[in-house]
Amino acid sequence: MDNKDREIKKIKLFSMKMKKKVLDTALIAGASGAHIGGALSIIDIIATLYCSIMRHDKKNPEWTERDRFILSKGHGCLAYYSALAEAGYIESEELNTFEKSGSDLLGHPVINRKKGIEFSNGSLGMGLSLGIGVALAGKRGNKNFKVYVILGDGECNEGSVWEAAMAAPNFELNNLCVIIDKNNFQQTGANKDIMNVGNLHDKWLSFGWNVKEIDGHNINEIYETLKTNSLDQKPLVIVANTIKGKGFSFSENNNDWHHTVLSKSQYDLAIKELNSQNI
């Protein structure tokens, strides 16, 4: 097994442990529910970022040269929190406080850099503009960090996304990478029935970005694409084709799981299916 194969296997194990944490957290959250579907669609992407791609240091979470991560679709935060727990920024037991009174782990991320939460997010359409500001500050301050932003495809209905999409190439932000979670759903239904975003690849290309389209659950593809260094001054957008609720028979492509309470029987089935998966 070569170095790359070992790295891919390490990311897959990281991702599997994240999924287990999401299930545990959602079960304990109980009646408050959790945005499981949109968390599961981005887990493989976030696992690859935190396990292998991003420069970060759990012992020095405010290191000035760290890469920045912005979860613009903040409702998918269970994936984010599970990555922070797996990476050592928070104790796994703290996930049990999710959405509880006094918790640092709320239903949308609230800035707490000591715990690895870079920014408050969740007001849809804002994350890319924030990412542009951070990337621009890095450029002007001669810093070498990169900025990674995850957008939802439904979130791309927001006009602020397209204003930001126009701005980033204008500022030549080749230190900015946007990943679009293209799971084809938003809160109230299928994107095609609500506001069809059309061909995202061609749209972003027309705005002056470097564009890659990948399988958002193929860790080898995710890894290879994120490892690619920009050869020009353009920002990169990755259109990741994903499945909402990925990984479990009852939740895949089922938009009921945008925000639903996980029952104990469903939890048990999900654990059984998770344990049957090969890495």
Model pLDDT, residue 175 = 97
* 131 φ/ψ sector (left φ>0, alpha ψ -120 to 50, else beta): alpha
Q: Kindly list the domain boundaries of the chain, sorted by start residue.
A: 3-275
Per-residue pLDDT of the chain (279 residues; tens, 9 = 90+): 789 999 999 999 999 999 999 999 999 998 877 899 999 999 999 999 999 999 999 999 999 999 999 999 999 999 999 999 999 999 999 999 999 999 999 999 999 999 999 999 989 999 999 999 999 999 999 999 999 999 999 999 999 999 999 999 999 999 999 999 999 999 999 999 999 999 999 999 999 999 999 999 999 999 999 998 878 999 999 999 999 999 999 999 999 999 999 999 999 999 999 999 887
CB atoms within 10 A of CB 54: 19
Model pLDDT, residue 184 = 98
Q: Where are the beta strands (DSSP E) in 114-255?
A: 147-152, 176-182, 185-186, 189-190, 210-215, 236-241
| Pair 228, 174: CB distance under 8 Å | no
CA–CA distance, 242 with 15 (Å, rounded to integer): 15
- Output the pTM of the full model: 0.97
Model pLDDT, residue 230 = 79
| CATH numeric code, 3-275 | 3.40.50.970
Q: Is the dihedral of CA 257, 249, 244, 48 positive or negative?
A: positive
Query: Which of 81, 12, 97 lies closest to 274 in space, CA to CA?
Result: 12
Tokens describing residue 217:
């659950």
Model pLDDT, residue 192 = 96
Q: Is the dihedral of CA 89, 94, 98, 102 positive or negative?
A: negative
Q: Is the dihedral of CA 12, 18, 21, 25 positive or negative?
A: negative
- Helix (H), strand (E) at residue 69: strand 68-71
CA–CA distance, 11 with 77 (Å, rounded to integer): 19
Longest pairwise C-alpha distance within the chain: 53
**DSSP per-residue codes, 5-54:** HHHHHHHHHHHHHHHHHHHHHHHHHGGG-B-HHHHHTTHHHHHHIIIIIS
